[in-house]
Homo-oligomer: A and B are copies of this chain.
Amino acid sequence: MADIGGELLWPGDGRADDVFTDASFLAAMVRFEQAWLDGLAAAGLAPGSVALVAPALADIAADAESGGNPVIPLVKELRKQSVDVHRGLTSQDVVDTALVLCVRDALDRVLADGERAARTLGRLARAHRATVMAGRTLTQLAVPITFGLKAATWLAGLTDAIVELRRAREELPIQIGGAAGTLAAVVELARDNDDPVGTAAALARDVAHRLDLQGGTPWHTRRTPLTAAADALVAVSDAWGHMAGDIALLSRSEIGELREGAGGGSSTMPGKANPVLSILLRRHALAAPSLAATLHVAAATYVDERPDGGWHAEWDTLRLLARRSVVAASQAADLVAGLVVDTAAMAERVASDARTLTAEQRSIAGSAAEDPAAYLGATDLVIDNIFERAARVWSNL
């Protein structure tokens, strides 16, 4: 169990182990201070660097409230190791860059498990390209589809979301701006150089490079890097919600066309197999949009060169969204990997409701058509088109 707790109230939380925990956030802050100290030394703005040791979490935590953020106690501890730590920075530089580093870890996990799920969905779509099943609209049997189309449609939604997520990941920036986004303090540190501003800018680029983050202008009051990541994570959660909702429905006792590989049991009802992973994914999908909304409300209420609440509202909200997204991506990949497709149940439904499923065809053709397998339209082409796009996003699909 990760130190963040949560496994009882958010089952599956442990899948995210140390992603974006308090401890990881502390480590990320130290990592940034280290990169900065190394950068200062390399630029000749500090006499040298030392290997910083992260202080105890409890020590930082105890003092995080008095200044409103954990950087003040952190710097106090780290300056015992080197007096040059944090010179030229502001608290927001440290918190924001550490948030970005933690978000990036989360995004990488989501991308990896997203790819795992995508490959399985690709396999399912291929394997069941010809598996006819009932299409349903507005809760009622409608026209036939194939399970391959359904799996491909899930894949298409995931692909859209992953494209968005990758873009947000590639654009994640370092935050270096000093108190008001002017880099005044670091320029001041370099005031004896020939080109203090150039030195400061080069230092910022160097430190971004050390952390493999985008450089660019300070974003102290422009929160698009965070909201774009959040929106992308919600797009992914939408994709899981859609897929999990379908699976939960098709797993209903009265339908039984799908089944989770390892359904959850009941303490009192022997033999019950609940679609647990689908349910837990739906849980995330229902809760994620509100978290992104909070990040947008926060962004929309930024004022001055650092706002009076919006900034602070982001941190834990982002942690929740990112961490739960890691859990969900792992659960989703497992879910599709273990998914049991009951082709016999699908076929049985198609056979028993063939007249209903072909009613539209008859109304068009004016004929006696009653074979759902003969009313699949462009299903294969749609699947092909989805694959074509997905193949541009994922290799070895």
Contacts and interface: CB of A to CB of B under 8 A. Distances in A.
A1 B59 CA distance: 9
Given A69-B11, A149-B182, A217-B382, A270 B377 contact: no
A376 to B, nearest CB: 6
A306 interface: yes
B280 A224 contact: no
Interface in A148-184: 149, 153, 156-157, 160-161, 164, 177-184
A212 interface: no
A313 interface: yes
Contacts of A375: 184, 188
A135 B180 contact: yes
A80 to B, nearest CB: 14
Contacts of A305: 135-137, 142, 145
**Which of A10, A179, A237, A375: most chain B CB closer than 10 A?**
A179
A222 B310 contact: no
Given A60-B8, A272-B142, A68 B279 contact: yes
A242 B221 contact: yes
Contact of A8 (B25, B183, B197, B227): B25
Contacts of A60: 7-8
A94 to B, nearest CB: 9
A42 interface: no
A286 B223 CA distance: 15
Given A87-B364, A254-B254, 6 more contacts: A72-B265, A138-B304, A160-B224, A197-B380, A240-B300, A290-B290
25 contacts: A72-B267, A90-B268, A136-B252, A137-B274, A138-B276, A138-B279, A140-B272, A153-B181, A156-B217, A179-B269, A182-B376, A184-B379, A185-B360, A188-B377, A216-B385, A218-B382, A242-B300, A245-B303, A248-B308, A254-B254, A279-B309, A282-B300, A285-B301, A289-B297, A290-B293
